[in-house]
Each structure stands twice: as structure tokens, then as C-alpha cells.
Amino acid sequence: MGNNDPIGIFDSGIGGLTVARAIHKRLPAERLIYFGDTAHLPYGDKSAAAIQAYSVKITDVLISEGCKVIVIACNSASSAAYELLREYSASKAKIINVIDPMVDYVSEHFSGKKVGLIGTRQTIQSNIYLQKLQSKVSDADLISLATPLLVPMIEEGFMHDKISRDIISEYLGNKIFSTISSLILGCTHYPLIKDEIEDYYSGKVKALDSSRIVAAHLQDYLTKNHMDSKIQNGKNKFYVSDYTPSFEALTRMFFGEEIHLEKFRLWE
């Protein structure tokens, strides 16, 4: 693995673009290869075995592209497939997930406080956030709720409108969240509605966005291991397993440049 090798990032859909954009802003010299598994979204309602199968296939693609680090930009895949991918690619690429950096951040800044968590069914049912938090903070107080309608809502473009406000209010109005100090956005799609979530709480609850936290973690890893790129290293590349014009349009908006999506079917 060389300093100028690319960084791979993958998710089931547009959510991982929030992580990719944060990495691009923080590490502009790094070349990114993004894989959106749009043929199989959302991952949150898939079995762990299915998510693992998709993740291994995508990891093979990113390794074949010479990626020095692969970021699992998806909470569902991070909970279901991280340990498998870490072993699978141990000698080929470093694997980073979106859960561990968030757990480190929460344990450092919100220890002793009641923290909420929203995410897909896969992420919430795995109980991985609580397990990891309790390994660092014995009295961790985490209140979790699966919010399965949010991903399809975002993927369909329902944001900052009556539909999104009603769905968000239905979930966040649950009484279990009445005394939380902060809320972990446990899905990389959710930063796209972060403003709406914070508006619901009138600024009294801090929404914790993993994209910036993961980008900072990645920068720290690359610097400490002398793996950061020293020169601007070519154009970013974007793969999808199923082409959609809306995905391409959103990618262009996120990166502010002309984007061409390359279709790559995981299984022919």
C-alpha cells in the first residue's frame, strides 16, 4: 500500500456520500473510490448474512482498485460485516467502520449523560453501540430506537417538507427520548436531515453526525501511519450496482463537480 493509493468507501446508497464528502473536504489530496450498492438498498432491513455477502463483494472491487483504506460508510454494514472484512482483508487494506469513531467520541464527550440513538433495524437489533460504549464507560446510558422509514424517505427525496417533518416527529416524539442530551445519528443517511432533527428539538439536543467524526479519525490514522497522500492524485471514481439519475445528480451536488457513475453489477 502506497501513500498515493486511493481510499475506498461504500454504502448501500446515498447515505455514504455524507461520509465521502466529509473525507473529501478534510483530505482533499486523497483520491476516493466510492461504491454505492444501489441494487440492494437499503441494507438496514437485510439479514446479516446478506449484508456480509454484499460487503465482501464490494471489498473485492475496492481492493482490486488498489485502495489502501476501505471505509464502511454504513452503520448496518459496520455492525454486520466489520469483523469479517477486517479478517478478510487484513493483508490488503485497512478497514475502518463508522461506529467505533462515534463510540470513542461519545465516551469522551458525553460520559454520564443520557444519549439517544436512531438507526436501521439491523443496527439497533445488533446492540453494537451499547456493547461498545459499555466497554469504555461502565455506566453508559443509551436509549435506542429503530427508525426504518427514514432511509427510504431520504432516498425518495422527501426532506425538508411536511412528509419528512411528520415522520421525524413521530419517531422523536417517543417518550423514551424525553430526557436525552444528545442523539447519535446511527445511519449515514441521517446527516441529510440533521437540521430537521435539531429543529425538532429546538436546539436543546445535539445531533451527532458520524461523517465528520469518521473523517477526522481517518485523517489521524493516515497521519500516524505515514499513509497520507502528499500530492493531488487524480479524479475520484464512483461505482453503483444499479444506475439511477437521482444518485448521479446528488453526487454532483455533494462534490460540486462533473461526476460520471460507472455501473458495476456485483453478480451477473
Q: What is the rounded distance in angstroms from the CA atom of residue 253 to the CA atom of residue 79?
A: 29
Catalytic annotation, pick one of 62, 187, 193, 261: 187
What band does 267 get if pLDDT is binned at 50, 70 and 90? confident
pLDDT, residue 157, reads: 85
Least confident of 98-102, 125-129, 224-228, 245-249: 245-249
Helix (H) or strand (E) holding 71: strand 69-72
pLDDT, residue 1, reads: 67
Average pLDDT over residues 153-166: 92
Residue pair 235/262 in contact by the 8 Å Cβ criterion = no
Helix (H) or strand (E) holding 11: strand 7-11
Average pLDDT over residues 224-238: 87
Q: What is the rounded distance in angstroms from the CA atom of residue 72 to the CA atom of residue 20?
A: 10
Look at residue 178 and give its three-state secondary structure. coil
Residue pair 6/65 in contact by the 8 Å Cβ criterion = yes
Domain limits, CATH 3.40.50.1860, in the chain: 7-97+212-263, 100-209
Q: At residue 232, does pLDDT exceed 90?
A: no
Pairing verdict, β 206-208 and 237-240: unpaired
Instruction: Judge if pTM exceeds 0.95.
Output: no
Q: At residue 241, does pLDDT exceed 80?
A: yes
What band does 140 get if pLDDT is binned at 50, 70 and 90? confident
pLDDT, residue 179, reads: 95
Catalytic annotation, pick one of 9, 39, 69, 74: 74
- Measuring CA to CA, how many Å separate 180 from each of 136, 154, 207, 233? 19, 24, 11, 43
What band does 115 get if pLDDT is binned at 50, 70 and 90? very high
Q: What percent of the chain has pLDDT over 70?
A: 99
Higher-confidence residue of 232 and 24: namely 24
Residue pair 213/36 in contact by the 8 Å Cβ criterion = no
pLDDT, residue 197, reads: 97
Residues in the chain: 268
Residue pair 236/24 in contact by the 8 Å Cβ criterion = yes
Average pLDDT over residues 46-65: 96
Q: At residue 15, does pLDDT exceed 70?
A: yes
Q: Among this protein's residues, is 67 annotated catalytic?
A: no
pLDDT, residue 94, reads: 96
Residue among 98, 80, 84, 104 at smallest CA distance from 22: 98
Taking residue 152's Cβ as centre, other Cβ atoms within 10 Å add up to 15
What band does 155 get if pLDDT is binned at 50, 70 and 90? confident
Place of cell 463510540: 103
Query: pLDDT per residue over 167-221, tens digit each?
Result: 999 999 999 999 999 999 999 999 999 999 999 999 899 999 999 999 999 999 9
> Which DSSP symbol is given to 4?
T
Query: pLDDT per residue over 141-153, tens digit each?
Result: 999 999 999 999 9
pLDDT, residue 173, reads: 97
Please give the grid coordinates belonging to residue 192.
441529510
Taking residue 34's Cβ as centre, other Cβ atoms within 10 Å add up to 28
Residue among 114, 126, 28, 111 at smallest CA distance from 74: 126
The average confidence (pLDDT) of the chain is 93
Helix (H) or strand (E) holding 121: helix 121-126
Q: Could you tell me the maximum CA-CA distance found in the chain, to the nearest angstrom?
A: 51
What band does 107 get if pLDDT is binned at 50, 70 and 90? very high
Average pLDDT over residues 5-22: 93
- Please give the CATH number for the structural domain made up of 7-97+212-263: 3.40.50.1860
Q: Among this protein's residues, is 187 annotated catalytic?
A: yes
Q: At residue 91, does pLDDT exceed 90?
A: no
Residue among 17, 165, 16 at smallest CA distance from 76: 16
**What is the CATH T-level fold of the domain 100-209, as seen in this structure?**
Rossmann fold (3.40.50)
pLDDT, residue 268, reads: 59
Q: What is the rounded distance in angstroms from the CA atom of residue 210 to the CA atom of residue 227?
A: 22
